[in-house]
Structure 1
Amino acid sequence: MTMTRLKDAVVAGARGLWLTIYALVGSIVLFVFSVLSIAFILLGIGVFTTPLVLTGVRKYANSYRNLAAEWSGVTIPDAYRAFPADLRTGVTGQVERCTLMLKDPATWRDLQWLLVNMTAAPIVAVFAPALMLYMLYGWVLALGVWEPIYNAGGGEWFAFIHVTSQSTANQAALLGTGFFVLGVFVNPSLVRAHFLLARTLLAPTTSMRERELARRVDRLTETRHDAVDNSAAELRRIERDLHDGAQARLVAMGMDLGTIEALIESDPAKAKELLAKARQNSGEALTELRDLVRGIHPPVLAERGLGDAVKALALRLPITTEVDVELTGRAEESVESAAYFAVSESLTNAIKHSGADRIWVDMHHADGMLRIAVTDNGKGGAAIGSGSGLTGVERRLGTFDGVLAVSSPAGGPTMVTMEIPCELS
């Protein structure tokens, strides 16, 4: 019996005791409130209380998910349906929220889990501390406590041993020691079994996974359509910029060179003037072509990667911008391009609308996810769909199954968080 195993068993026993109390108290209270609140919907009161109570249930269930992952390495996914972005406020919004939560199959799985979590689940968890602590009672009996109990009119039972003498009290102490040794080996497994029982009820079923997969397919289909439309619009913009910008300057430069050819002998001064103009047009055409190429795919992005490209972008901004990059490799070219322009649009929004004097960009990759946060110390109030350009960023990320989240309370600060699933080479 190593000290490490003993320590793990004692820790598991303490966790089992906590889970027993946490399961009983939390589950009973939330289950009773949930049932009463749903019943009060018929009276109208439940429409307002049910979303609050069910939100509490979800937070309680999510705390269990966190404990399961932290204490036993048991992953319990959730399958709660997201509320629509255009959910209304006021009484109508409360009715919609209540209806959506009651239609969510995950809500009813939570309630079933609460019922099990206040009956069978605590029994599994309580064995972990019981196996460790029961030995103490056996030794207390063996040290002489059995005798006054027996003289008072009976005898004490220790498990299956009826303690009526010093001999049986010694047997109780020996059995208690055996329980303790058993606990050293099985306590972590008992805590894990408690969480596995929770996972059988909290984790989404196959049908729920299929529905979630269908929703993801629908979302990806929608974002793919947006990507095609955006690509077509981008091609039209490039064509227009080439036609009205660089192409027009090159045509003018060609005409000037033809005139220079005719005047070079008869009017050298005029020819020299036209040469200077042609040189100016060529420089401006080159600048426009560089800007156009940078807008399509910045050269620094292709040559040095996303981190350096964003740092180069930050240097050109009129606001002090700090960029923190922790990337151990490079993502696919299309992912890097989408992330770069999403950051660029977020920075543009911050400069135009936030009134900030400082911006922070944090980029890192973990658990197969590229995470980018753009934070400013401006006035806040940014929101997706408010005409700030964030809707376009969300659609751009959605093409790669990425997500966008915005936290922008009144008075600031504003944090735009982006996540794109990808692997680094």
Structure 2
Amino acid sequence: MTAPSSAAGPHEGPDRYDGPDRPGIFGGSGGTDRLPPPRPAYDIRTWKEIAHLLLNLPTAVFGFVYAITALSVGGSLSVTVVGLPLLALSLLGARQLGKLERARARALLGVRVEEPSPLPLARGEGMLQRAWMALKDPVGWRTLLYEAIRLPWGVLTFCTVLASLFVLWPVLPYLARGLTNADRAMVRGLLSPSDELERRIAELESDRGVVVDTAAADLRRIERDLHDGAQARLVNLAMGLGLAKEKLLEDPDTAAEMVAEAHGEVKLALQELRDLARGIHPAVLTDRGLDAALSSVAARCTVPVKVTVDLTDRPAAAIEGIAYFTVSELLQNVSKHSGARSASVDVWRSTDRLLIQVQDDGRGGARLDGGTGMRGLADRLGAVDGLFVVDSPAGGPTEVTAELPWRDREK
């Protein structure tokens, strides 16, 4: 049995001992005590720590000059046209300084700090919008703070280590370890992407991409359905009516048959247009809400579906639309893939969430990567801070739970 290792990394905290347990620890047996081997006074880690402390002064001087210049020039010119853009550029440059400091700490101190998410600067945004996004960047401001306060510390550590190389040589390793522990704390505290706003920016940037991709896919689907369906039927209808017009005087009976066929084509084209409009946003959903709209969807399912909608108010139109299309897609899967004999749809509100649960007694085995549109539904819900959970063991039953944020409908 080996002794439990420390939670600290290989370059942090106390020395670790991975040898056999000493007697009396965790039930160890008697014998000769085996203590962890002492760390050499001047090993590679000590020399890296000393190098880091000696580099503190030049890097601190450069960072201090950069931070003070950026703040003074940008602040004094903030009332002019160029002041705020200049400060925004300085904050973007501060991000690069922070990247270099994290790399130095990683190489010499063994501190693993994740890189902050990049700023979501869209190409379509104007210069003022991009500058405002940079001015609100917490990473840039924290890096400027880090650079502004490090000059005294850099002078102290440089002078202490330089003097110790001649005077306090025996205790320098322990002194270097203590000083670099303070450096590690500053790097983690000011250069780590621990700010909740940064994570939220990254999430919103990802969600925005999902929304754009989903909208583009919906637009392509509508164009394809119009081209392959109603448009093709209307072209055939025009050709048939043209031929019927030519036959009207020569062969009235044939012309009447062709007009009857054209009438049938008109009915089919109208039905396809109604289906397409229902796929975009059904009128029953706008007029009567989720209860009536989901009952209409359930009536078209190939298995009996029990629909229960327990809502005293209607949610915002966008949330209502996503809920409708989620249930519609799930019931299509029930019809095509489940082999179920019955299904149920339950919709209710819990505080600030709209919950949807669709169940069937089919064969199960549904997965997000199963090619039935489940992944698209999960992405669509995730883009609006929703959740999508599939519980479908082999042999069934299948239970899909979806959550959406509740937003009140505008009166």
Residue among 352, 357, 379 paired with 1:395:
379
Give deviations 1:178-218, integer Å, cap 9, x for gaps. xxxxxxxxxxxxxxxxxxxxxxxxxxx9x999644433432
Q: After the TM superposition, which residues 253-268 of structure 1 pair with which residues of structure 2 at under 5 Å, given as runs? A: 253-268=237-252
**Equivalent residue of 2:349, what SS?**
strand
Cα RMSD, aligned residues only = 3.3
More displaced 10-residue stretch of structure 1: 278-287 or 338-347: 338-347
**Against the structure 1 CA distance between its residues 37 and 391, is the aligned structure 2 distance closer, same or farther, given a 3 Å change threshold?**
farther
CA distance in 1, matches of 2:235, 2:264: 13
CA distance in 2, matches of 1:299, 1:215: 39
CA distance in 2, matches of 1:300, 1:376: 25
Residue among 178, 195, 199 paired with 1:215:
199
- Aligned counterpart, 2:226: 242
CA distance in 2, matches of 1:211, 1:378: 45
- Aligned counterpart, 1:416: 400
CA distance in 2, matches of 1:209, 1:335: 32
2:282 paired with 1:298: yes
**Equivalent residue of 2:273, what SS?**
helix
Deviation at 1:417, TM superposition (A): 0.9
Residue among 298, 304, 308 paired with 2:292:
308
Q: After the TM superposition, which residues 8-157 of structure 1 pair with which residues of structure 2 at under 5 Å, given as runs? A: none
**Against the structure 1 CA distance between its residues 249 and 393, is the aligned structure 2 distance closer, same or farther, given a 3 Å change threshold?**
same
**Equivalent residue of 2:250, what SS?**
coil
Residue segments in structure 2 that go unaligned for 5+ positions in a row? 8-15, 20-112, 115-188
Residue among 402, 405, 409 paired with 2:389:
405
More displaced 10-residue stretch of structure 1: 377-386 or 401-410: 377-386
Deviation at 1:345, TM superposition (A): 1.7
**Against the structure 1 CA distance between its residues 247 and 219, is the aligned structure 2 distance closer, same or farther, given a 3 Å change threshold?**
same
Residue segments in structure 1 that go unaligned for 5+ positions in a row? 1-34, 45-102, 105-204
**Against the structure 1 CA distance between its residues 307 and 36, is the aligned structure 2 distance closer, same or farther, given a 3 Å change threshold?**
farther
CA distance in 1, matches of 2:215, 2:204: 16
CA distance in 2, matches of 1:345, 1:380: 16
More displaced 10-residue stretch of structure 1: 251-260 or 370-379: 251-260
CA distance in 2, matches of 1:208, 1:357: 54
Conservation of the 8 A alpha-carbon contact between 2:343 and 2:359: yes
- Aligned counterpart, 1:364: 348
Conservation of the 8 A alpha-carbon contact between 1:220 and 1:398: no
Deviation at 1:263, TM superposition (A): 2.6
Give deviations 1:130-161, integer Å, cap 9, x for gaps. xxxxxxxxxxxxxxxxxxxxxxxxxxxxxxxx
CA distance in 2, matches of 1:220, 1:357: 41
**Against the structure 1 CA distance between its residues 42 and 267, is the aligned structure 2 distance closer, same or farther, given a 3 Å change threshold?**
farther
Conservation of the 8 A alpha-carbon contact between 2:365 and 2:395: yes
CA distance in 2, matches of 1:261, 1:287: 25
CA distance in 2, matches of 1:227, 1:221: 10
**Against the structure 1 CA distance between its residues 388 and 257, is the aligned structure 2 distance closer, same or farther, given a 3 Å change threshold?**
closer
Q: After the TM superposition, which residues 197-216 of structure 1 pair with which residues of structure 2 at under 5 Å, given as runs? A: 211-216=195-200
Point out the structure with the larger helix share: 1
**Equivalent residue of 1:424, what SS?**
coil
- Aligned counterpart, 1:231: 215
| Normalised TM-score (structure 1) | 0.49
CA distance in 2, matches of 1:37, 1:409: 39
Deviation at 1:42, TM superposition (A): 7.5
Conservation of the 8 A alpha-carbon contact between 2:5 and 2:17: no
Conservation of the 8 A alpha-carbon contact between 2:303 and 2:341: yes
Deviation at 1:372, TM superposition (A): 0.6
Deviation at 1:317, TM superposition (A): 0.9
Conservation of the 8 A alpha-carbon contact between 1:220 and 1:401: no
Conservation of the 8 A alpha-carbon contact between 1:339 and 1:397: no
Conservation of the 8 A alpha-carbon contact between 1:381 and 1:411: yes
**Equivalent residue of 1:222, what SS?**
helix
CA distance in 1, matches of 2:198, 2:308: 37
Deviation at 1:219, TM superposition (A): 2.9
2:347 paired with 1:354: no
- Aligned counterpart, 1:285: 269
- Aligned counterpart, 2:258: 274
| Normalised TM-score (structure 2) | 0.51
CA distance in 1, matches of 2:235, 2:194: 58
CA distance in 2, matches of 1:297, 1:405: 25
**Against the structure 1 CA distance between its residues 349 and 257, is the aligned structure 2 distance closer, same or farther, given a 3 Å change threshold?**
closer
CA distance in 1, matches of 2:387, 2:344: 20
Give deviations 1:48-86, integer Å, cap 9, x for gaps. xxxxxxxxxxxxxxxxxxxxxxxxxxxxxxxxxxxxxxx
**Against the structure 1 CA distance between its residues 42 and 290, is the aligned structure 2 distance closer, same or farther, given a 3 Å change threshold?**
farther
Give deviations 1:299-318, integer Å, cap 9, x for gaps. 21122112221111111111
